[in-house]
A and B are shown apart, each in its own frame.
Chain A
Amino acid sequence: MDTVAEPAPYGAAEPDDDEVARRFAAGDEQALAWAYERYAARVHGMAVRAFGPGPDAEDVTQQVFVSAWTGRAGYRPEQGPLPAWLTGVCRHKIADTWARRDRQRRAAEAALAEAQSPVAGPAPVDATVADRVLLLGELDRLGQPQRGIIELAFFADLTHTQIAERTGLPLGTVKSHIRRTLERLRDRLEVDGAALHA
């Protein structure tokens, strides 16, 4: 046996979510097991929603926990709860999987085109798939509260009024953060997006 499983002792008091997050960030291996117990079904639910049940979804879920663990230095408990961070990691893995599928599609089409007509150019990149990877990366660069605000707009489908209620921030602040973030994402798409697709 390569790994020896050590289940937590039954009856031992379990830490609350904040404690799990803190210990996860600190590299406590037990915290990874607790995080998996608590959040794997949420993560896997997202993966299954994107790809249906099966190997692709399972790969995504596995990658989320592996890369969350190896990249735990990038998680700051004071910036938000651990499950929300895992959700963000899961978005990246879903977008990466789409991009990988797109590369495979183009490779297959290129092979086919090569066989049929040697002068045909490479199959076009699916721009949306590439843009998604680009913009998720840009979201990671946003500080709080900008990031939380735009995520509520994009991923929780809340209006700016609902976001203000949820976060307790003034309406004007929420509106101005939304504007600045959308302008930033627009610039990123128009500058780097274009270069990427060229």
Chain B
Amino acid sequence: MPHCTPEELALAALREPLPDDAAAHLAGCASCTGEVSRLRRAVDVLAVPELADPGPPVAPPPALWAGIAAATGVATAPRPGVVAASAPPADPVPDVPPAPLVPAARPEPGPVAPVVPLRPRRSRLLLAAAAALVVGLGIGAGAVALSGRDDDGVAVAEAVLDPLEDSGASGSAAVVEREDGTRVLRVELAADAPPEGYYEAWLLTESVTGLVPLGVVRPGTEDFQLPAGLDLGEYPVVDVSVEPLDGDPAHSGLSVARGQLS
């Protein structure tokens, strides 16, 4: 049995499995084993979890930028809301929320809550472009009535809105297609008025990386006009959030109810 090739020794140093014959040779050959351990030192020094590719993002505290501005002298600044919204909390909620999402034992909502996608504002801009592209290709025209005729249209998709984070909010949503081809999202929300701010309705992608703001929703029933051409296959998740009155149009990250249209 010949010695292992240099390539095999390198792969062994990375702890990759070798072909059977090479592995058998390596096990009994001091020379090859010695070379693997020399090569492996670099692997053990660098391939440590702390240096691995980035894991879950964590929004840095807002004050951190000041030090960067001071050290670099730049006069620009990131928008704090965008930075804060670029990371979910340490306790992540699954991205795809078809089932009721009630995370176990999360005593109080963190400063940033689970659903904010990366850079919501940009996603929204992308979305605008995407929506423009799919005009006329939406599911509206050919959709089959799922639950019969409403008084002013046909419900073509429905969702049950389940509470998030023990919010106590729940409800339902339906996409209603009217005779002229326009669609509305009808949201029925059962919730107490929020202690501060207001509720806002959104449509999200399943991965929660894109979102469409629909507007202010109060407990009770509200209709929201859907943008023409919006592909509900792409934005199938109905989300209700609490938004502070801070003038920032981005999603606050504090969702109270969610459900998937089907």
Contacts and interface: CB of A to CB of B under 8 A. Distances in A.
Interface in B112-126: 118-119, 121-122, 125
B79 A29 contact: no
What is the predominant secondary structure among interface residues of chain A facing chain B?
Answer: helix
B11 A36 contact: no
Contacts of B61: 58
Q: Give the contact-size bracket for chain B.
A: 35 or more
Contacts of B13: 182
A65 B68 contact: yes
B86 interface: yes
Contact of A66 (B11, B51, B71): B71
B103 to A, nearest CB: 20
Given A13-B125, A182-B13, A186-B39, A7 B79 contact: yes
Contact of A132 (B45, B52, B87): B45
A4 interface: yes
A157 B47 contact: yes
Interface in B34-83: 38-39, 41-47, 49-61, 64-79, 82-83
Residue of A4, A6, A186, A188 most packed against chain B (CB within 10 A)? A186
Contacts of A42: 54, 57
Given A49-B49, A157-B47, A41 B69 contact: no
A186 B41 contact: yes
Nearest 3 Cβ contacts at the A-B interface = A41-B57, A5-B77, A185-B42
Interface of A: 2-8, 10, 13-14, 29-30, 32-34, 36-38, 40-46, 48-50, 53, 58, 61-62, 65-66, 69-70, 87, 91, 94-95, 128, 131-132, 135-136, 139, 153-157, 159-160, 175-176, 178-179, 182-183, 185-186, 188-190
